Structure 1
Amino acid sequence: MIDTSVAHPARRYNYWLGGEHHFPADRASGDAIEAAMPTIRLMAVENRRFLGRAAAYLSAQGVRQFLDVGTGLPAPGGIADVVDPSSRIVYADNDPLVAQHAAALLADGRVYLEADVRSPREILDHPSLRATLDLDAPVGLMLLAVLHFLRDDDDPHGVVRTLVDALPSGSYVVASHATWEYLPPTVVERLTAQNGDGRFAPRDGAQFAAFFAGLEPVAPGLTSVAHWHAAGDLPSIEDVACNGIVARVP
């Protein structure tokens, strides 16, 4: 059942991207956060572009399997738009509205799981995942803009460790995480006021990098999502306020 009276991150993100799958509560929440941080839509767009560039990079390395945890609502620039057409993809999200629109993501070799990142073992053991992905062959694990919704009491390090430990050598992890480390104190104060339930957990670059200890970062390593393998006139790290990393499983 979809509770349209409470904002949901996937729908709010879709709103910032200019999508159509959101409700008044999502728009109100999105507008309040944008009032606190006027470049939030830029963050969403640059995070989506990072997803596309990173997925294309993995495809160029020969990766043909992807596990996208925290899929979000369908929007241009998704994994399937840039990877080899033969790739197998498992999408997972916990928003019932995403499940309703999952048909737009699916084709032969692509499945959707209604699942929560906080229960990684349930994702990994799901029969549909096991029927779609070969966990003895490299997998691209995509964790885009999802880890900052795991508080420390959700054991985020345990979540990431469980997912990564299931991947064979030669797999990759692509992740992004919002940060307040570059923002002026006045902006941080306003954002904190919008985070009354503490569900959003911003982390700085060092805290984010700690999730991937033991992996092999792809150059240039941890950087702004707007700058990873990007060219041209790039937005500032301060305006985007979101770190990204692509790392190989040794």
Structure 2
Amino acid sequence: MEPNEDAAPIAPAGVDTDKPSAARIYDWYLGGTHNWAVDREFGKRAVQLWPGMPAMARQNRAFMNRVVEAALDAGIRQFIDLGSGVPTVGNVHEIIRRKVPEGEDATVVYVDYEPVAAAHSTVILEKDEATDWAGLVQRDLRDPEAIFEDEATRALIDFAEPVCVLLIAVMHFIGPHDRPARIVETYRSRVAAGSWLAISHASIENAPEEDTVGVRQMIANYRNTSNPMWLRDRAEFAPWFGDWTMLDPGITRLPDWRPDEEPDDDIRKASVFGWGGVAEKPRP
């Protein structure tokens, strides 16, 4: 379905709509309406370079949904969604509301530093009457300590109990100068045994050479946005899980992580451009 390009909301105070934003571009890929002309134009150029980009976004969202459902089935009732972006269909709190039995409690903290993501996350949580168990922390995921100490995090997350930490389609916006391995290690160190860590990451490893030209150009174009992008191979991505126990089926192409339906042709073709995995912190 084509998004309604006239439906973009009024920009919140302080939001720069003159420069494309990765969060809003991603929302456009998913068919959302929380984006502006500059984001749509960037997205259209990216799709011209690599037509599989919207399918890549959809498979990341589907992967996240399956991870959240699996974590709930495993008894986890706390979630931190880092780099959550602007609201669109399939938010973590929507899955919780659908899956958690009546009478049971579950909480989620969305984390994003972009004002537009924060503003619209707040609006949707208020609209969904979820603010007593779901909150927004407007922080940069590169500053874990600030996120841990934020008032909303402290109110909603009990770090003595297992937490599912989600880093979905966001670590490829963290450059090598930011020391991504250390960032992820900090999150791992602060959560209780039994916690889960889910990560997905863009890659062109083993992708057909003829399909990588457009992807490389698209990545180069992202360097002109507020969120430059980096590709990484599986060997660089895998150590971020540390000594945690990889959950079946391990690090895989995103559609192959506990699939609940057969992926369509577009999703399967896009699957070679990303890795995903989930690990559990060992219990004593």
1:90-109 aligned within 5 A: 90-102=109-121, 103-105=123-125, 106-109=130-133
SS in 1 for 2:34: coil
Contact 1:172 1:249 in 2 (8 A): yes
Q: Which residue of 1 aligns with 2:156?
A: 132
The percent identity for this pair of structures is: 30
Q: Does 1:50 align with 2:82?
A: no
SS in 2 for 1:134: coil
Contact 1:182 1:237 in 2 (8 A): no
How many correspondences in the alignment? 250
* Unpaired segments ≥5 residues, structure 1: none
Deviations 1:81-110 (A, max 9, x none): 223262111111011111111231342121
Q: Does 1:242 align with 2:274?
A: yes
Letter of the aligned partner of 2:147 in structure 1? I
Q: Which residue of 2 aligns with 1:172?
A: 196
Contact 1:145 1:177 in 2 (8 A): yes
Runs of 4+ deviating beyond 6 Å: none
- TM-score where L is the length of structure 1: 0.94
Deviates more, 1:33-42 or 1:78-87: 78-87
Q: Does 1:40 align with 2:53?
A: yes
1:32 and 1:205 mapped to 2: Cα distance? Answer: 27
* Unpaired segments ≥5 residues, structure 2: 1-13
Deviations 1:131-180 (A, max 9, x none): 21100100010111110000100111111011111011000011111111
Letter of the aligned partner of 2:270 in structure 1? D
Q: Which residue of 1 aligns with 2:180?
A: 156
Contact 2:52 2:269 in 1 (8 A): no
2:157 and 2:82 mapped to 1: Cα distance? Answer: 14
1:158 and 1:176 mapped to 2: Cα distance? Answer: 17
Contact 1:141 1:172 in 2 (8 A): yes
Contact 2:18 2:38 in 1 (8 A): yes
SS in 2 for 1:160: helix
Deviates more, 1:178-187 or 1:68-77: 178-187
SS in 2 for 1:111: strand
2:62 and 2:215 mapped to 1: Cα distance? Answer: 24
Match of 2:233 among 189, 204, 218: 204
After TM superposition, give the deviation of residue 231 of structure 1 in Å.
Answer: 3.9
Match of 1:72 among 85, 88, 91: 85
